[in-house]
A and B are shown apart, each in its own frame.
Chain A
Amino acid sequence: MLGYTFKRILQIIPVLFVISLVVFLMLHMIPGDPVKNMLGINAPEEVVEATRIKLGLDQPLYKQYIGFVKGVFNGDLGVSIHTRKPVLEEILNKYPYTLKLAIGGTIVATILGVIFGIIAAVNHNKFMDNFIMVLSLLSVSTPSFFLALLLMLVFSLYLGWFPSIGMRSPAHYVLPIITLGTQSVGIMARTTRSAMLEVLKQDYIRTSRSRGVPERIIIYLHAFKNALIPVVTVIGLRFGGLLAGSALVETVFAIPGIGRLMVDGVLKRDYPVVQGTILVISATFVIMNLITDLLYAVVDPRVKYD
């Protein structure tokens, strides 16, 4: 298992390498000049040129890329064009927020989604099934920025239960996590539901019944443990989705997260920031998938890594 983990982590490197290359090329395809963006519309041409040279943006693309890769290996993601701060520092400052959001969201989504999915599956095609699925899909079907505003209105302004913006206390996390988490509840519920439906049809469930195992144990132990296998995959995938989707939620709730950093970076053509954030987000995603794979071995004895 350890060897496997190590091997998988090594495998991540080429993936990240290619991702960084793709990001790099893509970014440079996007029209827009980071220097002008930074210096503002009134900046004189000479200053723009001087700055460009200073930032090394006048170099041929391949040299810029090599520089970037070299930097990465030295733990240096470059300096933000916009804020002049080291990208790594920016990311390290902001990543915890996003990570907390995404983890919180994943936990909310998983717990709610799994419970909903089981209830729906057990009541297949009955009222409860329909009701629960509509309920859990409702939030996914609402644009997240809109949902965020609605939640803020209701829970911060009208009810005064939670603060509206920022991330300064645990209470601040509630609304953003709910917004982000509920974006995945529907998918988790759907996956759990169909996994449960499928598992409940399996022969071994019939076997358990034939042995007189109480239905409760069959559903929550025998069936659920099997249904968990596809659900675990989705947790991994959704985690990546949450990371990416956090940009909007962070914007509305004024959270200084990495998602916003990334989107702002694209909008400002802050190449180093975009490269850095994507690298980190992709790495997280890939690592999350690795964790899911390892979790597999926990929930499914048929999977063995060594």
Chain B
Amino acid sequence: KPAPAAVPETPQEEKGFKDTIVFAPNTDAASLDPHVQNDTTSEQVVKMLYNTLLKFGPNGEITGDLADSWEVSEDQKTWTFKLKEGVKFHNGTEMTAESVKGTYDRAMDPSNGLVVGEIVKMFEKVEVVDKYKVSITTKEPYGAMMALMCNMSLAIMDPAYIEKYGMDLGSNAESINGTGPYKVVSWTRDEELVLESHDDYYGDKALTKKVVYRPIPEAAARVIALETGEVDAIQGVPANEVPRLESIDGLSVYKAKSIGQRLFRFGCNDSIVGNTKVRQALIYAVDRQAIIDSLFPGLSYPSTAPLAPVTWGYANLGEIKQDKEKAKQLLAEAGYPNGFKTKIVTTERYAKGVELAEIIASQLKEVGVEAEIQVMEWSAFLQTIDGITAKEFDAPLFIMGAGPSMMDADGGLRGLYTTTLTGKNDRNYGFYSNKEVDELIDAGMKETDPEKRKELYKRAQEILYLEDPAGIWLFDQLTNLAHSSKLKDVTVSPISTITFEKATIEK
């Protein structure tokens, strides 16, 4: 972790600090509407601008943010949140229970077609109890409710702005009114997003006056810009550049554990890969450590479960080592002693997606499986992977990135591995179907006793990981941030968002 923050009382400039941090993410935020944003780059900015009712503490515990306290009814269905008083939006209006209701009503209205709609599907209603008290009633008891309230998608907005800007909210600087430590000053898309500290922030005020986001899509250019000092921090350093950057005086690379995992999922509709033994064989054929060493040295470590350790509900199932003999044996048992031909579908959208596929193909070859690689442009990839029927689906092995932004096993498992009922694969892209897994996940969702939940998820993970595997989990990713050594106290969350509410930068 970066060194502790400087003493906040005195103005920063006098103490030899700069008032501006320039940060280069790889893309610009797509939208700064909490309900619309669904990518890390957007989310990390939204996080600077808005607050949620609850938040994760430094050790993953859930604490209040806009809510001071909360309680849940007997039937586990009604949650009542007592809000902090005197919280001001950027424009000076006060955040009240009405704000919460306005925000959630917008999220719940299916006619708005918001992605957040899926998350709040289990909400039945939101009611204002008094000015600073609001209650949310869910349709059924929901185990992950508290984690859900930490989700930036449920950050509280100003209903007046919702009214005024409608769906344009968050698409330009004027339309943003949050409660967060920073407010938007200007936003020139793809060029520059300037944030300034929010003077009336209810919590600890930001230490640096301005944060400037300057997206640089090209990784090599990003690194150069950091080296020339044009930017103070960059997101997404090419793994092979990390040692070099670390060795440069005045630059550091910060790495943090995250929820992110990289896996290749099985297309279980495939006649060969549908066979459990075949899937197990493929899992044993892969040498994870070699992959990590060559592509992401120091930036990832082998997966030990279908969830990353920072996710609530994670169960350590151990690393699976390459075992070619076992793989061959399993293949023989499955009826493919001489291997078979198959296909790996990948996309460059995921870091080193192509190289990963190349290495896996070469490792599979060692156990006799010939895999042809199909690289797809992201949009086309989505089309081939998402929202189609088993008949149309043709990707025996396909790349996936996973990580539940709620940091809860429910988010990490439910949509992805439970049997779909619609005939299309919905979010269960690989048509994975295991009755026991379905039951376990369903129970886990409804269970509100944390210990019991953990047990249920542990079992589910065992099945998914190896017994009847859904994918080849390769490695858990670290979020990395290369920055000038003068930049201190950047907050990097397990969901890979990088925020600057506590950050300072020396002159």
Contact = CB atoms under 8 A, between A and B. Distances in A.
Given a CB threshold of 8 Å, the question of whether A touches B is answered with yes
Interface of A: 30-34, 36-48, 50-51, 53-54, 82-85, 90, 93-94, 145, 148-149, 152-153, 156-157, 160, 163-168, 251-256, 260-261, 267-269
A215 to B, nearest CB: 48
27 contacts: A33-B387, A41-B382, A41-B427, A43-B115, A43-B118, A47-B117, A48-B387, A50-B110, A83-B189, A93-B189, A145-B218, A149-B218, A149-B220, A149-B221, A160-B228, A163-B228, A164-B224, A164-B225, A164-B230, A165-B225, A167-B191, A168-B192, A251-B217, A253-B221, A256-B191, A260-B217, A267-B379
Given A42-B118, A44-B115, 6 more contacts: A33-B379, A47-B117, A50-B110, A85-B168, A145-B218, A254-B216
A255 to B, nearest CB: 8
B57 to A, nearest CB: 26
A36 B110 contact: no
A44 B30 contact: no
A85 B171 contact: yes
A45 B378 contact: no
A44 B221 contact: no
A152 B117 contact: no
Most buried by A among B113, B188, B189, B224: B113
Interface in B30-86: 30-31, 36, 38-39
A98 B427 CA distance: 40
A268 B384 CA distance: 15
A32 B224 contact: no
Nearest to A52: B113
B502 to A, nearest CB: 27
Given A32-B379, A48-B387, A152 B214 contact: no
B115 A45 contact: no
B114 interface: yes
Nearest to A146: B220
Contacts of B129: none
Nearest to A82: B30
B389 interface: no
B224 A44 contact: no
B171 A83 contact: yes
Top 7 A-B pairs ranked by shortest CB distance?
A32-B379, A50-B113, A256-B190, A254-B216, A40-B38, A256-B191, A51-B113
Contacts of A32: 377, 379-380, 382-383
A167 B172 CA distance: 20
B395 to A, nearest CB: 14
A40 B171 contact: no
B31 A84 contact: yes
Contacts of A40: 38-39, 115
A72 B356 CA distance: 45
Contacts of B380: 30-32
Nearest to A269: B379
A257 B426 CA distance: 36
B111 interface: yes
Contacts of A45: 387, 422, 424, 426
A246 to B, nearest CB: 14
Interface string B207-237: 0000000111110110011011010000000
Given A42-B115, A45-B422, A37 B387 contact: no
Contacts of B227: 157
B167 interface: yes
A84 B171 contact: yes
Contacts of B39: 40
B376 to A, nearest CB: 9
Contact of B383 (A31, A160, A163, A267): A31
A92 to B, nearest CB: 12
B217 A33 contact: no
B386 interface: yes
B415 interface: yes
A168 B114 CA distance: 35
A39 B38 contact: yes
Given A39-B115, A40-B38, A149-B221, A33 B171 contact: no
Most buried by B among A43, A50, A163: A43
Nearest to B429: A41
A153 B217 CA distance: 16
Contacts of A163: 228, 230
Given A36-B386, A253-B221, A269-B379, A156 B228 contact: yes
B190 A33 contact: no
Most buried by B among A45, A94, A254: A254
A24 to B, nearest CB: 17
A253 B117 CA distance: 38
Given A44-B426, A51-B113, A252-B218, A157 B224 contact: yes
A167 B215 CA distance: 12
B230 to A, nearest CB: 6
Contacts of A269: 379
A267 B191 contact: no
Contacts of A267: 377-379
A37 B382 CA distance: 7
Contact of A153 (B168, B188, B214, B224): B224
A46 B110 contact: yes
Contacts of A167: 191
A39 B216 CA distance: 23
B430 to A, nearest CB: 13
B460 to A, nearest CB: 19
A30 B387 CA distance: 17
Nearest to A152: B224
Contacts of A165: 214, 216, 221, 224-225, 230
